[in-house]
Structure 1
Amino acid sequence: MFGPGSQFNEFFNDPRWALAVVRATVLEAAHPQIGAALIDSSTFVVHPWRRLYNTFLSLQRMFGADDDVRHREAARLNRLHARLNGTDARDRPYDAMDPEARAWVVATLFESTVTMFRMSGQPLEQRVMERLYIEFQAFLAALGVEGGHLPATLHEFWRYYDRVVEEELENTEAMRIILYKLFDHLPAPPLLNGLPTLWALGRAVGGPVMGAVTVASLPEPFRRRAGLPELPGAQTLMQSAYLTVGMARFLPDSWVRAENIAELLSLSPDSDDPRARSVRALHQRMKRAGAFLRLVTPLAPEPGPEPTAPGGIQRDAAEFFREVLDQTGDGHLDWPDLAAMARELSTRLDLDEPEETRLYNAYADWWRELQRALDTDGDGRISAQEYASAAPSLAGPALIRVAEVLFDVTDKDGDQRIDADEYRALFRTAFHRDTTGTDGAYTRSAFVKDFLSFMSGRQRSTPYDPLLAQA
């Protein structure tokens, strides 16, 4: 069912699967419950590359050969989803643990994988589809969802899929954001940070193409009901995209492995990964190319990030609010934003219980402290204006507690120091510390001081910016 030899493992590194995953995500977002959870709690708009990397890592763990890793990941996903519930804009309840909604997520991944081969002119054989369907059923079972929420047979699945598409999917806000905002405003991945001109040019061309390809690949009954546009030539463009991307499978395996691509996209140029040296050299060449493009094109480049320096560079309150605090990108600070921070930190450190709950509880206490200090109109959330008017209130006892808990869960061996390996697990970068007089370690007091300086003093920071501000 899982690991080497499985059907999923064979398809996972097919470059076309990137298109299939985007398509599956749009179909998931069109489900009312999933769309509501994405709008309220997800960071996919502001931090899409971080979300993509974490999703890839999760699928890798779930479909890997190690049963213990799979069980730990399933437990982590269940804890994460158990925290996502509420009501949507139409006062309908949603719950990320709803078994029907979770079954639909698995169904979209399976159907989009089958569709990717069909659109590429290589339809799967019946026996291959049946085996792949059994593997996805096993994936759902590994998450603890009991049988019956996905049909027992592949023949029954197609009737189930058509029924959900025609009767349950909606033109949700989350789906519209993915199709009409995310592609057009997609931030640069860490690999291309600092190259705004080149990225803006590539996105100006690729964003509309990606949106058109995705819309054209959606089921026709849903496109009609949701009022999605029928662009001339879109079907031909879509099939050409699948065929063109599919050609990449003839490249050397190391070039197209999903694991290598995901890691490369998330690689920071200042990382101690050996590949970072090549990235730094590539950056210099691309910056020169970007300077040339600015001379020959009217495209206005987006402002790049200011350089970091020893001691940090102060950023204004509005920028800090937008880049760090507003994790969900809705223009307000509320609990889902701080929960997203706790979720990202827990994922990076691969926390189990009770450490994960300790970190969430520390962030929850900080949120209550922020509400008391900054929510002047009592609407249950903090606007950018409310934050700017009382920003020093961020550095209260609850934030200090967040820093202390984060230090404790990062310090895996409990020796009251963060060594190079523990530092790398949290920041995914080299040990950027002056270790003179500290015996080569990051002490508790220094860690807490740096964290508070970043979170309350709005100092730019080489390690903390990629952790909480980077897309």
Structure 2
Amino acid sequence: MFGPGSQFDEFFNDPRWALAVVRATVLEAAHPQIGAALIDNSTFVAHPWRRLQNTFLSLRRMFGADDDVRQREAARLNRLHARLNGTDARDRPYDAMDPAARAWVVATLFESTVTMFRLSGQPLEQRAMERLYAEFQAFLVALGNEAGQLPPTLHEFWRYYDRVVEEELENTEAMRIILYKLFDHLPAPPLLNGLPTLWALGRAVGGPVVGAITVASLPEPFRRRAGLPELLGAQTLMQSAYLTVGLARFLPDGWIRAENVADLLALTPDSDDPRARTVRALHQKMKRAGAFLRLVTPFATEPEPEPGAGPEPAARGGMRRDAEEFFREVLDQTGDGYLDWPDLAAMARELSTRLDLDEPEETRLYTAYADWWRELQSALDTDGDGRVSAQEYAAAAPSLAGPALIRVAEVLFDVTDKDGNQHIDADEYRALFRTAFRRDTTGAGTSGGTGGAYTRSAFVKDFLSFMSGRQRSTPYDPLLAQA
């Protein structure tokens, strides 16, 4: 069911699956419970590339050959989803652990994969389809759901799928954001940071195309009931896209791997990853291309960084954000314009994922962030609406380095310091920041004078400097501010 040789393993690196996953995500977001959970808790609007990379990592863990890794990942996902519950805009309850909603997520992935092959002119044979369905059923069981949440046979599945599409899906806010806001306003991946002209050009062309392809691929009864637009030629464009993207699967083995593509998009030019040298060279060429495009295109963009600006000033600690920029890039993780508990929970979730924390350490980190949220709410929520606006934050201009934030830093140090020796070594540092530990060979600065180890006091000081002093930071920006 899992690992090499499975149906999932065969299509996971198929480039067409990127289109299928987008389609599945839209169908998930159209489910009232899932759509409400996404709107209230997800970072998919403000940090889509980070969300994409984490999703690929989770799927690879769940469908890999190592049963221990799968059980560990399933437990992590269940702890994450158990924290996502509330009520939607129509005062209907939602719960990310609802068995029917979880089954629908798996159903959309399976059906969109089958549709991927059909739209590419290569429909799956019945035996392959049944095998794939059995693997997704096993995936749902591995998450802890009872086997009966999905119909037992493939024949019964199609009746179940049609019923949910026709009776339960809605034109939700989350679905509309994915189709009409996310693609049109998609932030640049880290690889293309500092190249606004090139990114604006690609997004202006690609965003509407991806949106049109996705809408055209959705079930016709739902498109009609949700009032989604029927664009002239969209069906032809959709089928052409699936056929064209599918040609990439004929490239040499290993050229197109989902993890490698996701990692490359998340790679920053100043990273110490061996691939960063090539990325830096490519980045410089794209900057020159961007400068040329600014002369011949009307796109209004932010000015390109001056030569030599790049990440170096941040590494020297010489660049600061103003309050509103810090609020938008760091504090407002969900991108809804407000600071509330889901934003800080998203920080805890990202840190827990990076460090692959077990339950006790993960709970300690969430608890520390919850205490910080209560401290922030008490100090900044002047109108008593239970959240902090950008204006409230900027007007108060507080020093955020209170006791609760210090506690967050200390807990983060403890969970990063895996061996408990009260120092963070190079491997522990890399696990958190995905970059090498750049110690000061003179024994000063970040290394805390320990010859390369990161002391508790130095770690806490740097964390507080970033979170309260709004100081740009080479390690923390990719972790909490990057899209």
Regarding TM over 0.5, the answer is: yes
Spell out, residue by residue over 1:180-215, the C-alpha distance to the aligned partner (whole angstroms, 9 max, x if none). Answer: 000000011111111111111100100000000000
Task: Give the Cα separation in 1 of the matches to 2:332 and 2:283.
Answer: 29
Give the Å deviation of 1:390: 2.1
Task: Give the Cα separation in 2 of the matches to 1:350 and 1:147.
Answer: 27
Structure 2 counterpart of 1:456: 468
Task: Give the Cα separation in 2 of the matches to 1:73 and 1:60.
Answer: 10
Spell out, residue by residue over 1:44-71, the C-alpha distance to the aligned partner (whole angstroms, 9 max, x if none). Answer: 0000000000000000000000000000
Partner of 2:312: helix, strand, or coil?
coil
Give the Å deviation of 1:302: 14
Distance change (3 Å), C-alpha of 1:231 and 1:293 = same
Task: Give the Cα separation in 2 of the matches to 1:463 and 1:231.
Answer: 44
Partner of 1:61: helix, strand, or coil?
helix
Task: Give the Cα separation in 2 of the matches to 1:225 and 1:133.
Answer: 28
Task: Give the Cα separation in 2 of the matches to 1:146 and 1:391.
Answer: 50
Does the Cα contact within 8 Å between 1:435 and 1:442 map onto a contact in 2? Answer: no
Task: Give the Cα separation in 2 of the matches to 1:273 and 1:306.
Answer: 17
Give the Å deviation of 1:393: 3.8
Does the Cα contact within 8 Å between 1:58 and 1:73 map onto a contact in 2? Answer: yes
Q: State whether structure 2 residue 374 is matched by structure 1 residue 368.
A: yes
Q: State whether structure 2 residue 278 is matched by structure 1 residue 278.
A: yes
Task: Give the Cα separation in 2 of the matches to 1:419 and 1:435.
Answer: 15
Structure 2 counterpart of 1:86: 86
Task: Give the Cα separation in 2 of the matches to 1:441 and 1:129.
Answer: 53
Does the Cα contact within 8 Å between 1:15 and 1:249 map onto a contact in 2? Answer: yes
Task: Give the Cα separation in 2 of the matches to 1:401 and 1:59.
Answer: 33
Task: Give the Cα separation in 2 of the matches to 1:289 and 1:306.
Answer: 22
Does the Cα contact within 8 Å between 2:439 and 2:451 map onto a contact in 1? Answer: no
Moved more, 97-106 or 385-394: 385-394
Spell out, residue by residue over 1:343-401, the C-alpha distance to the aligned partner (whole angstroms, 9 max, x if none). Answer: 00000000002000000000000000111111111111011111112232411000000
Partner of 2:237: helix, strand, or coil?
helix
Give the Å deviation of 1:431: 1.6
Does the Cα contact within 8 Å between 2:150 and 2:157 map onto a contact in 1? Answer: yes
Moved more, 327-336 or 249-258: 249-258
Spell out, residue by residue over 1:423-460, the C-alpha distance to the aligned partner (whole angstroms, 9 max, x if none). Answer: 11111112233253321111111110110010001001
Partner of 2:333: helix, strand, or coil?
coil
Task: Give the Cα separation in 1 of the matches to 2:456 and 2:342.
Answer: 28
Structure 2 matches for 1:94-109, cutoff 5 A? 94-109=94-109
Moved more, 190-199 or 229-238: 190-199
Task: Give the Cα separation in 2 of the matches to 1:91 and 1:346.
Answer: 31
Task: Give the Cα separation in 1 of the matches to 2:435 and 2:398.
Answer: 29
Q: How many residues were matched structurally?
A: 471
**Which residue, out of 447, 452, 457, partners 2:459?**
447
Give the Å deviation of 1:313: 1.4
Task: Give the Cα separation in 2 of the matches to 1:268 and 1:66.
Answer: 30
Structure 1 segments, 4+ long, off by >4 Å, are 301-307
Does the Cα contact within 8 Å between 1:391 and 1:456 map onto a contact in 2? Answer: no
Does the Cα contact within 8 Å between 1:331 and 1:383 map onto a contact in 2? Answer: yes
Which segments of 5 or more consecutive residues in structure 2 lack a partner in the other structure? 443-448
Does the Cα contact within 8 Å between 1:373 and 1:393 map onto a contact in 2? Answer: no
Does the Cα contact within 8 Å between 2:400 and 2:468 map onto a contact in 1? Answer: yes
Distance change (3 Å), C-alpha of 1:345 and 1:302 = farther
Task: Give the Cα separation in 2 of the matches to 1:307 and 1:469.
Answer: 16
Task: Give the Cα separation in 2 of the matches to 1:470 and 1:422.
Answer: 21
Structure 2 counterpart of 1:326: 332
Distance change (3 Å), C-alpha of 1:435 and 1:416 = farther
Task: Give the Cα separation in 1 of the matches to 2:208 and 2:256.
Answer: 24
Task: Give the Cα separation in 2 of the matches to 1:391 and 1:4.
Answer: 54
Moved more, 389-398 or 160-169: 389-398
Moved more, 307-316 or 271-280: 307-316
Does the Cα contact within 8 Å between 1:196 and 1:302 map onto a contact in 2? Answer: no
Spell out, residue by residue over 1:63-99, the C-alpha distance to the aligned partner (whole angstroms, 9 max, x if none). Answer: 0000000000000000000000000000000000000
Does the Cα contact within 8 Å between 2:399 and 2:469 map onto a contact in 1? Answer: no
Task: Give the Cα separation in 2 of the matches to 1:433 and 1:330.
Answer: 37
- TM-score when normalising by structure 1: 0.98
Task: Give the Cα separation in 2 of the matches to 1:350 and 1:192.
Answer: 28
Does the Cα contact within 8 Å between 1:197 and 1:302 map onto a contact in 2? Answer: no
Does the Cα contact within 8 Å between 2:381 and 2:388 map onto a contact in 1? Answer: yes
Distance change (3 Å), C-alpha of 1:39 and 1:306 = farther
Does the Cα contact within 8 Å between 1:270 and 1:429 map onto a contact in 2? Answer: no
Give the Å deviation of 1:305: 8.7
Task: Give the Cα separation in 2 of the matches to 1:445 and 1:261.
Answer: 37
Task: Give the Cα separation in 2 of the matches to 1:345 and 1:152.
Answer: 38
Distance change (3 Å), C-alpha of 1:394 and 1:170 = same
Partner of 1:354: helix, strand, or coil?
helix
Does the Cα contact within 8 Å between 2:183 and 2:210 map onto a contact in 1? Answer: yes
Task: Give the Cα separation in 2 of the matches to 1:14 and 1:288.
Answer: 32
Give the Å deviation of 1:312: 3.6
Partner of 1:394: helix, strand, or coil?
coil
Give the Å deviation of 1:296: 1.1
Kindly report the root-mean-square deviation, in angstroms, between the aligned alpha carbons of the 2 structures: 1.5
Does the Cα contact within 8 Å between 2:179 and 2:211 map onto a contact in 1? Answer: yes
Distance change (3 Å), C-alpha of 1:302 and 1:14 = farther
Structure 2 matches for 1:249-264, cutoff 5 A? 249-264=249-264
Moved more, 449-458 or 426-435: 426-435
Does the Cα contact within 8 Å between 2:270 and 2:311 map onto a contact in 1? Answer: no
Task: Give the Cα separation in 2 of the matches to 1:37 and 1:201.
Answer: 32
Does the Cα contact within 8 Å between 1:86 and 1:94 map onto a contact in 2? Answer: yes
Partner of 2:281: helix, strand, or coil?
helix
Task: Give the Cα separation in 2 of the matches to 1:266 and 1:349.
Answer: 17
Task: Give the Cα separation in 2 of the matches to 1:6 and 1:19.
Answer: 21
Task: Give the Cα separation in 1 of the matches to 2:313 and 2:229.
Answer: 42
Partner of 1:94: helix, strand, or coil?
strand
Q: State whether structure 2 residue 41 is matched by structure 1 residue 41.
A: yes
Does the Cα contact within 8 Å between 1:27 and 1:108 map onto a contact in 2? Answer: yes
Task: Give the Cα separation in 1 of the matches to 2:71 and 2:433.
Answer: 25
Does the Cα contact within 8 Å between 1:370 and 1:393 map onto a contact in 2? Answer: no
Which segments of 5 or more consecutive residues in structure 1 lack a partner in the other structure? none
Spell out, residue by residue over 1:394-431, the C-alpha distance to the aligned partner (whole angstroms, 9 max, x if none). Answer: 11000000000001101111111111111111111122
Distance change (3 Å), C-alpha of 1:307 and 1:182 = farther
Task: Give the Cα separation in 2 of the matches to 1:423 and 1:305.
Answer: 19
